[in-house]
Amino acid sequence: MVYGIGVDIVSIDRIAKSLEKESFIKRIYGADEIALFVSENKIKTNSLAANFAAKEAFSKALGTGVRGFDFDEVQILRDSLGAPYFKFGGRAQQIVESKKLECKVSLSHEKDKAVAFVVIEVK
C-alpha cells in the first residue's frame, strides 16, 4: 500500500554555493554520501543537489516535512548500476522501521535544476 509520495526541485547553483561551506556539508550529508560525492579535488555538485532534493522529497512523502529527524540521517547512495537508494540512520531509521516503510527514490538533473521523486510504501 502507498503510504505517501513526495517531490522536490532545487537550484543546483544555490546548493553549489552552500557546498562551499563545510558546515553545510556536515549538517546535510552523511558519512557515506560524503565518501561517495566529496573528494579533495572534486565535489559532485549535481548529485549532491539531487540528494538534497531527495531528502526534502522524503520528508514530504512522510507528510511531516523535515521534522523529527536530521538531514544527514537520510542518505541517498547509488548501487552498482548507478540507481539511487536510501540508507537511513538515527531517528529517520527509527521512523522508517517503526512504521515498516519501504522508501524508493528517483533523481534527475538538467541545467540549473535537480529533482527528486520519492514513493513510500508500507511493507
Ligand X SMILES: CC(C)(COP(=O)(O)OP(=O)(O)OC[C@H]1O[C@@H](n2cnc3c(N)ncnc32)[C@H](O)[C@@H]1OP(=O)(O)O)[C@@H](O)C(=O)NCCC(=O)NCCS
Binding site for ligand X (CB under 6 A): 8, 56, 59-60, 63-66
Residue 83 has what DSSP assignment? -
Catalytic residue (one of 44, 87, 104, 109): 109
- Are 82 and 46 in contact by the 8 Å Cβ rule? The answer is no
What minimum distance in Å lies between the beta carbon of 63 and ligand X?
5
Give the span between the Cα atoms of 78 and 105, in whole angstroms.
11
Question: Annotated catalytic, 109?
Answer: yes
Instruction: Please indicate whether residue 60 is annotated as part of the active site.
Output: yes
Q: Name the minimum Å distance from CB 41 to ligand X.
A: 25
User: What is the rounded CA–CA span in Å between residue 87 and residue 93?
Assistant: 8
Which cell numbers hold the place of 4? 505517501
Q: Residue 34 CB, nearest distance to ligand X (Å)? A: 16
Q: Which residues are catalytic?
A: 60, 109
